Amino acid sequence: MKARGRPVKKLLFGAAIVAAIGAGAWLYVSPRGLAGHPIERYGSGALQAGVRLERIGISPGDGTGSITGFTVRNPKGFRTPAAFQADSIKLALDPATLGKDVLVVRALSVASPRLTYESGDAGSNFEVLLGNIQRHAGESAGEESRGPKLIVERLVVRNATLSYASALTAGKTVTIALPDVRLSGIGRIEGGLTPGRFAQAIVEAMLDRIRRAMSLEAMRSGAK
């Protein structure tokens, strides 16, 4: 079991990041709860940005759990401190799949996360985070292919807000609502996704919502 310790620790970070923000769902189960340090270290390395969380609690009996105080800070070169913040993330694992080659997450729910979009010389902060995830996934593809994979049966990110500033807002920061993200059967067809591939799918979904919301807001502002 020790040989699999490092990949298994990875399996909850992507779930937490959703989003985004993702970079794997790294799970380390303990009857006393889950210390965030392995997730913070791996997530920060994968994203090349600070990852912080207050606590993770998982019940090995029924597979339910929560992540509190989850933050993804911005990469270097951006002015705003954080790209993604969520006070609480709820999840329900299939306990029968703990320790198996494929971990099944029955439900993953993120309520009212706060996102901050910032443009930079190398693209937006979310585009840089996505590029970092893709680069890390490519570099660790061999290791991750031998580790546990992930299937998420239902993912919901609801009531998210986005703060950003642009030329259309005259440089002022505005906050708008984002369309909900509702995905099902993530990784089912493939027989499970590696943590890196799962993270990419989540960040891409969030970027799509961000771009749609900003385009709609620009059209609304132009019509005034």
Q: How many CB atoms lie within 10 A of CB 112?
A: 13
Q: What distance in Å separates the CA atoms of residue 27 and residue 198, rounded to the nearest whole number?
A: 14
Q: Look at residue 30 in the predicted model and tell me its pLDDT.
A: 32
Q: Look at residue 176 in the predicted model and tell me its pLDDT.
A: 92
Q: How confident is the model at residue 98 (pLDDT cuts 50, 70, 90)?
A: confident
Q: Is the entire prediction scored with pTM above 0.75?
A: yes
pLDDT of 9 higher than 60: no
- What is the chain's mean pLDDT, rounded? 77
- Asked if 159 contacts 111 with a C-beta cutoff of 8 angstroms, the reply is yes
Domain parsing of the chain, residue ranges: 2-223
**Degrees to nearest 5, angle at CA 116 with 171 and 176:** 75
